[in-house]
Amino acid sequence: MPRGRNWVMGEQLAQVDNRDPFAVPVWRSPVYRTPEPVIMVVQLIRLIWRVLWFALTHPGADAVAALKAVFDFCDPIYAAMTDADAAKMVKVFGRDRTKFGALNFGVIHTNEMYGTLAVYLRAKDMVPPSSAGRGNMGRKKE
């Protein structure tokens, strides 16, 4: 019996003539699985690279300055809002919303992000700023 890649069996020819493109193939090439330890090492290397890249491109001082700039930008907008302005319609993410609805979306998003941060801090045995100084609230019981 001849061996090698050029040897074509009858089932392979039958699959070539199959007019149904969604039919299960009669013949399949062998599947080679990558060993799990190799996958884990590659993922670890990628994770380390991404963390290093983020740390190098986003220094902490820049983050604080960026946060201050955001507050400096947003505070006057919230302060200038009047009842008459709140009902005016504006486009937000391609949809018509009231100005109040747009600003409320920002507040809701900020609260969601703070909630995520608080859970992360508690998982690391730290007290979130909103719970600090309120007695034993937010601290582990001993």
In residues, how long is the chain? 142
Higher pLDDT, 9 or 105: 105
For 34, phi then psi, to 5°, come to: -75, 130
How far is the C-alpha of 44 from the C-alpha of 38, rounded, in Å? 10
Segments in the chain forming alpha helices (H): 10-16, 36-57, 60-80, 83-86, 99-123
pLDDT digits (tens, 9 = 90+) for 52-74: 888 888 777 777 788 889 889 98
- Going by C-beta distance under 8 Å and a sequence separation of 6 or more, which residues neighbour residue 125? 140
What's the pLDDT score for residue 29? 59
pLDDT digits (tens, 9 = 90+) for 79-116: 998 888 899 999 988 999 999 999 999 889 989 998 99
Q: Is the pLDDT of residue 120 over 90?
A: no
Classify the C-alpha dihedral 109-58-127-78 as positive or negative: negative
- Residue 72, CB-side half-sphere exposure with 13 Å CA sphere: 6
Confidence class for position 14, pLDDT limits 50, 70, 90: low
Higher pLDDT, 46 or 31: 46
Q: Is the pLDDT of residue 13 over 70?
A: no
- Looking at the chain, the whole-number percentage of residues with pLDDT higher than 70 is 73
Task: Please tell me whether residue 131 adopts helix, strand or coil conformation.
Answer: coil
Higher pLDDT, 19 or 112: 112
User: Looking at this protein, which amino acid is placed at residue 1?
Assistant: M
Report the chain's mean pLDDT, rounded to a whole number.
79
